[in-house]
Amino acid sequence: MFNFLFKKEKQLESLIYQYLDHFGQTREHFLKAMDTCLNEGICGEFVFLTDQTHKFESKADEIRDEINYMMYSRALIPESREDIMSLIEQVEVIPRIFELILHIIRTQKLKIPEFVVLEVKDLLRISAESCELVSKQIDLLLRNRQGIRVLLATIDGNESHCDHIERSLMTKIFDSDLEIVHKLQLKELIVAMGEISDQADRVSRRVNILTLKRRV
């Protein structure tokens, strides 16, 4: 019986790593799509990378469903099931934000003004770093290793930095001579971008809580 449970837990761990891999692939395609948009505007390559982002996000959803099924097939004790599913549900919010951002740009045919491009790139770069660090935190959690609180501090610092950039972007946009409709479109976009680091910070704190629960 115990060998069976151990095997099921190893299968579950493998699925979680697969999920994290697709989470990373979604992030990378999102960043490539945004880089293309910022450098070349909405073009065929941007549309292709947007579709690829959706493909990897959808595959991650499928893996999430497999994780859910395995956990409720007695792979873990009930308390652990709830912890893992709650964590994954928080992580999967981030790819949805990626897709929302690309959807806003694609459907509204939104042009990002040159005077905010550098700060937008900084916002995306720092946010993406936090997402990568979240994946590292989850890896440390699964392997029961130290270092989660150090990453938590970095992610928290990134979130504060992103908030600063977001405020700066809003000021520049609303101080500009852009049409009000364009300003409001950009506001929606910048708010969505800022939500990436906010959600990464929430996930990071959740990982830290799970670590503390292990010590109780």
d(CA 10, CA 82): 18
CATH number at residue 51: 1.20.58.220
* Mean per-residue pLDDT, 93-111: 97
Backbone φ and ψ of 121, nearest 5°:
-60, -40
Domain that holds residue 31: 2-215
Q: Give 200-216 pLDDT, tens digit per residue.
A: 999 999 999 998 877 65
Where b means 16+ CB within 10 Å and e means fewer, 153-174 reads eebbebbebbeebbeebbeebe
Residue 149: the pLDDT is 95
Q: Give 150-176 pLDDT, tens digit per residue.
A: 999 999 999 999 999 999 999 999 999
DSSP calls for 8-71: HHHHHHHHHHHHHHHHHHHHHHHHHHHHHHHHH-S-HHHHHHHHHHHHHHHHHHHHHHHHHHHI
Q: State the sign of the Cα–Cα–Cα–Cα dihedral 111, 30, 199, 85.
A: positive
Q: Is the pLDDT of residue 82 over 70?
A: yes
At a CB cut-off of 8 Å and minimum separation 6, what does 122 contact? 165
Look up the pTM and report it: 0.92
Asked whether the beta carbons of 63 and 71 are under 8 A apart, the reply is no
Q: How many helices (H) and strands (E) does the chain have?
A: 7, 0
Q: Is the pLDDT of residue 5 over 80?
A: no
How many domains does the chain divide into?
1
* Mean per-residue pLDDT, 105-128: 97
